[in-house]
Structure 1
Amino acid sequence: MRRSIPALAAALGLALTMSACSSDSPSDNETTEPTAAATTEAPALTGTLTMWVDETRIDVMKPIVEEFTTETGVKVDLVQKASGDIRTDFVAQVPTGQGPDVIIGAHDWTGEFVNNGVVAPVQLGDKAAGFATSAIQAFTFDGNLYGTPYAIENIALVRNNALVPETKATTFDELIAEGKAAGTKYPVLIQQGDAGDAYHLYPLQTSFGAPIFTQEADGSYTNQLGLGGTNGENFAKYLQKLGQDKVLDPAIGGDQAKEAFENGESPYIVTGPWYTTEFTSKGMDITVLPVPSAGGSEAQPFVGVQGAFISAKSANPVLANEFVVNFLSTEKVQTELYQAGGRLPALTASAELVDDPVLAGFNAAGATGAPMPSIPEMGAMWQFWGTTEVQIISGQAADPVAAWNTMVANMQDAIDNPSS
């Protein structure tokens, strides 16, 4: 079992005391003053912790590591790495002993890191219960936790309150009806584009009980596809219907969907905080809601989680553990990271303090979301997934069930033959 820093300090203090008493001990009738070794507190943590952060996160982490240094005395060498290189450089350099002690990044790096043996499991213990379930699941791989999460983001349903002040719909079909009643060009916007966009359609897909991969009881993903069979086929039929009813349009990509929503051409859009910040900055009155179910089950968006990993070859594992497990997991630090970065805290206690109604809406929508799979097989899924969906929506695939089953077969082949 991992011994905490306080426990190690207490043990060290006891060892020093016993050492002082075991040498040059006075006779029984001698009175002595306490020795320096017996009264000196255990030494503070010392040394330097090397941490890698990319350009998108470094400004958020700078004040955090300064605070860590002030509290512990541990110097942090914060190294900025290009976002396009940080992940591959970490995998390449850790085995040589040249990598950092800690790396800040996204949870979907976990599978690659574990397969390459470059990260160590972390032991949050009872602290894990204080985090959003999806955040812990996101960093779990093969039953082990490999990172401490600090921020969460996901998509949700965003409403233009000027067009529809209240949403009564409890199903996606009812939502479409409300959108049509508003008299706008589009009842609801979900970006697609020529290559499709399975990410933004995923809440609808999961509401049919057709996740991309199955999950273990602890939330970690298997490489067994979950989107085949009757549930997946029913979702494919629903996609065809949405295309025929002009609810979904392959011609509407992300930029087009954002512009249409800003222009008041739809009361609803399924999107994330990367667009809502633009909406609010332009004075739009919006509300963020969970995506209603289309298939009867809960609509679960993908959840992206940011966190900290400890290198498997860290030269300073005690210092790395102190930062990642004991410091980063505190309510104070998680709240400060939210205030600096504008993303929902992964720690529930900090998330509950968020007074921004837009972010609170995303929090509610993603509370039971599905973490983006971090298993290596996920990378090959997108090319089949989005293409097939857009073919069904556009009518290029006349038989949605046949198209979907062909997609599933191609996905399975990519899993079974990864090098082909």
Structure 2
Amino acid sequence: MTMKKMLVVVTAVTTSLALAACGAASPGSTDKENPPVSAETAAPNTEGAQAGADDAGITPEPGAKLLIWDGAKERPFEEEIAKQFSAKYNVEVQIEEVGPPDTVNRMSNDGPAGIGADVFVIPHNHLGRAVNAGLVLPNDIFGDVTKKSNTESAVIGATSGDKIYAYPRSAETIAMYYNKKLVPTPPKSFDDVVAFSKTFTDKSKNKYGLIWESGNFYFNYPFFAAGGGYVFGKNGTDPHDIGLNTDGAVAGLKLYASLKNDVLPINAGDINPDIKRSLFTKGDAAMDITGPWEMAAYKEALGDDLGIAPIPQINGKPAITFAGIQEVVVNAYSKYPNAAKLYAKFSTSKEAQLQLYKIIGSVPTNTEAQGDAQIKNDPYVSAFVEQSKNSIPMPSIPEMESVWSPIGAALSDIWNSGKDPKEALDNAVKQIKDANSSSAK
């Protein structure tokens, strides 16, 4: 999540140019196992590359060819979108599997060399680093449409400084999974969680009412935020304004500390994803706070007995979670920026986001897609959509890197040793400020 460093532009040698046959193509772009989606294979329409009313009057450059980077599980989605895009715009599209967490690092070298993808996918918390390195173009043509079409949280995640760069396509946050055999009705508040757990939790039998990673800041941010706590001010962009030890954050952490006795009497270091997964799928944990990455395994284990709901209220306030936004960006070195921007918009439209949902079960950021019947009627994804309405993008500025360790240590001290939340948080905030002050020198 660290960002910054100025980009050194290098001149591509002749061999690099030979690899750039697809504009910003990469080695192997003519591999027979990964053939490009061409105008012929996509059966283009008779309008060819004529711009429609939704294209802001721009058309692809003559002879445009695009290379797209996306993850392996998203490949079927990209292949379908590429086929549709090629049919509409008569532009050849090549897809290469590069996972979103790796794209910015790879683009740092491949972009200046002229062999990077024209369009690639990144987690929102990598955007600041990509912008600072000069790797991505602003979302200038479709920025207003992007802002109007997507949730506020997604737009914040697509923005760096005062400018929108990315095209959001899906959101990821945490919610509460529950076993309907054990919890027919999901709890609305943590008071309800405690009341249920008093009848279910039995450490001697390794049974727990609710389980989650109690030492991991990502999963415990709701306890800070419900009462008004925050990481950094100005939508996570002001590292000098730290709100992790406010009165509201302290109040939330007092509730958090109280949960160890009746809900989850395990030290923080003794809980990890594998342990949680085992307890929940066996019915030894009635509820689990985690993300959509566990959905497939939990559905397989529990079947119709699986339920998902928003995280219960904390001290009478909605539980506010971190959001991760998957977003599409355009390579600043692309030879075909018009075609690339059109693809970025096309692949993040309402229709495209619903297609991505059908293929991998992702949560749309497009507000119309969120209201679509197929999302509303999906009891699992709709729960994540509801929770995402009370989520904020994780800060993407470099100073966020200094937050994890001090706050994680504070959580462990509060949970394991009963340390006073105010004292623990004050100490953690001081460490964060000291670390960021040192790195700024």
Q: Report the CA distance between 1:310 and its aligned residue.
A: 1.0
Gaps of 5+ in 2: 1-49
Q: Report the CA distance between 1:9 and its aligned residue.
A: 10
Q: Which residue of 1 aligns with 2:385?
A: 363
Q: Which residue of 1 aligns with 2:439?
A: 418
Deviations 1:35-94 (A, max 9, x none): xxxxxxx99964101222243433432222122112211111222236664321112332
CA contact (8 A) 1:191 1:197 kept: yes
CA contact (8 A) 2:178 2:287 kept: yes
Equivalent position to 2:321, from 294, 297, 301: 301
Equivalent position to 1:331, from 347, 350, 355: 350
Q: Distance in 2 between matches of 1:301 and 1:165?
A: 24
Give the match's secondary structure for 2:170: strand
Equivalent position to 2:246, from 229, 246, 259: 229
Q: Which residue of 2 aligns with 1:23?
A: none
Equivalent position to 2:426, from 400, 405, 414: 405
Q: Which moved more, 1:223-232 or 1:399-408?
A: 223-232
Q: Report the CA distance between 1:11 and its aligned residue.
A: 8.4
Q: Report the CA distance between 1:211 and its aligned residue.
A: 1.7
Q: Report the CA distance between 1:341 and its aligned residue.
A: 1.8
Q: Which residue of 2 aligns with 1:264?
A: 283
CA contact (8 A) 1:54 1:86 kept: no
Give the match's secondary structure for 1:238: helix
Question: Partner letter of residue 343 of structure 2?
Answer: F
Give the match's secondary structure for 1:259: helix
Q: Which residue of 1 aligns with 2:5?
A: none
TM-score (norm 2): 0.78
Q: Distance in 2 between matches of 1:352 and 1:11?
A: 29
Give the match's secondary structure for 2:211: coil
CA contact (8 A) 2:323 2:391 kept: yes
Q: Distance in 1 between matches of 2:218 and 2:84?
A: 37
Q: Which residue of 2 aligns with 1:134?
A: 153
Q: Report the CA distance between 1:182 and its aligned residue.
A: 4.4
Q: Which residue of 2 aligns with 1:57?
A: 74
1:173 is aligned to 2:191: yes
Give the match's secondary structure for 1:345: coil
1:81 is aligned to 2:98: yes
Q: Report the CA distance between 1:126 and its aligned residue.
A: 3.4
CA contact (8 A) 2:104 2:126 kept: yes
Question: Partner letter of residue 384 of structure 1?
Answer: P
Q: Distance in 1 between matches of 2:176 and 2:343?
A: 36
CA contact (8 A) 2:111 2:333 kept: yes
Counterparts of 1:58-207 in structure 2, within 5 Å, are 58-81=75-98, 85-122=102-139, 123-167=142-186, 169-182=187-200, 185-192=207-214, 196-207=215-226
CA contact (8 A) 2:245 2:422 kept: no
Give the match's secondary structure for 2:210: coil
CA contact (8 A) 1:134 1:368 kept: no
Q: Which residue of 1 aligns with 2:368?
A: 349
Q: Distance in 2 between matches of 1:348 and 1:150?
A: 11
Q: 1:175 to 1:215 in 2, by over 3 A?
A: farther
Q: Distance in 1 between matches of 2:130 and 2:432?
A: 23
Deviations 1:291-325 (A, max 9, x none): 12223432111111112101222211110111112
Equivalent position to 1:320, from 324, 333, 340: 340
TM-score (norm 1): 0.82
Q: Which residue of 2 aligns with 1:311?
A: 331
Deviations 1:264-311 (A, max 9, x none): 123221111211221111234122111122234321111111121012
Q: Which residue of 2 aligns with 1:19?
A: none
Q: Which residue of 1 aligns with 2:399?
A: 377
Equivalent position to 1:392, from 408, 414, 420: 414
Q: Distance in 2 between matches of 1:177 and 1:8?
A: 53
Give the match's secondary structure for 2:327: strand
CA contact (8 A) 2:157 2:393 kept: yes
Larger-Rg structure: 1
Question: Partner letter of residue 409 of structure 1?
Answer: K
Q: Distance in 1 between matches of 2:123 and 2:396?
A: 9
Q: Report the CA distance between 1:246 and its aligned residue.
A: 5.4
Q: Report the CA distance between 1:96 and its aligned residue.
A: 4.2
Percentage of pairs with the same residue:
26
Question: Partner letter of residue 139 of structure 1?
Answer: A
Q: Distance in 2 between matches of 1:45 and 1:335?
A: 30
Question: Partner letter of residue 300 of structure 1?
Answer: I
CA contact (8 A) 2:211 2:289 kept: yes
Q: Distance in 1 between matches of 2:243 and 2:128?
A: 19
Give the match's secondary structure for 2:325: strand
Gaps of 5+ in 1: 13-41
RMSD: 2.7
Give the match's secondary structure for 1:356: coil
CA contact (8 A) 1:248 1:393 kept: no
